[in-house]
A = this chain, B = another copy of it.
Amino acid sequence: MNDMRIVERTVDTHDVKIDAKDVNVHYGTSHALKGVSVAIPDKTVTAFIGPSGCGKSTFLRCLNRMNDTIASCRVDGLIALDGEDIYDRRVDPVQLRAKVGMVFQKPNPFPKSIYDNVSYGPKIHGLTRNKAELDEIVESCLKKAALWNEVKDRLHSPGTGLSGGQQQRLCIARAIATSPEVLLMDEPCSALDPIATAQVEELIDELRSSFSVVIVTHSMQQAARVSQRTAFFHLGNLVEYGETGQIFTSPQDPRTESYISGRIG
């Protein structure tokens, strides 16, 4: 049963963007991730699913070293972005995070204007020479985030005044303004209502033409809807990783099957 025969839906064999090999994470003495190896392709949406506490967020945060801020967290194994080890001593995590952007569970726009929210990243990284360039970036990012039409008349009103779904799209615009190569999203829709969720999912689907997107979600339906590849985590292990259609129609591992079909996992 090959679900992928229709041309439009085929996942081309993309280059591997992030290659994680045998990643182990400990929080103090607790072993949160156990030998996870995942190759995340470029220009695809990869979903991480699994029961609460299985280590999805932990793994996601390894990918842009947001875990560095947790003192007790220790990461072993190799994670390579375009072949370069991101845990190398020479890597400045600040620079890494500009390349591997992140969008969070709750929309968290800065309490500044919409414009300032988007231009913040380019400004601190010195990506522009002048105001005109900055304006251009802001506009193009808001367009990519499917927000431009809704906010173009009030770029200088506060970002916190937008609705939840708009805020989340603003956060996505802000993240892509630093021209990252990978976009990590940790449960980006769990604070949104169904309509806003659908809009953000639609946006994610469009973003994959330019970015490699990794999304953590509790909603299997969401993973099914937005992703091309799905990884199922369980108790810190990567149980199954494969094409989304296959995971949801004929998973190989009984644990995956149990989880996605709503049996006790």
Contacts and interface: CB of A to CB of B under 8 A. Distances in A.
Contacts of A220: 194
Interface residues of A, number: 15
Interface in A151-196: 164, 193-196
A52 B221 contact: no
A264 B195 contact: yes
B262 A193 contact: no
A22 to B, nearest CB: 27
Contacts of A198: 262
A51 interface: yes
A254 interface: no
A221 B221 contact: yes
Contacts of A51: 193-195
Interface string A210-222: 0000000011110
A164 B218 CA distance: 14
Contact of A265 (B195, B221, B262, B265): B195
Given A51-B194, A52-B164, 10 more contacts: A52-B193, A52-B196, A193-B218, A194-B218, A194-B220, A194-B262, A195-B264, A195-B265, A198-B262, A221-B221
Interface of A: 51-52, 164, 193-196, 198, 218-221, 262, 264-265
14 contacts: A51-B194, A51-B195, A52-B164, A52-B193, A52-B195, A52-B196, A193-B218, A194-B218, A194-B219, A194-B220, A194-B262, A195-B264, A195-B265, A221-B221
The 7 tightest CB contacts between A and B, nearest first, are A52-B193, A51-B195, A198-B262, A193-B218, A194-B218, A51-B193, A195-B265
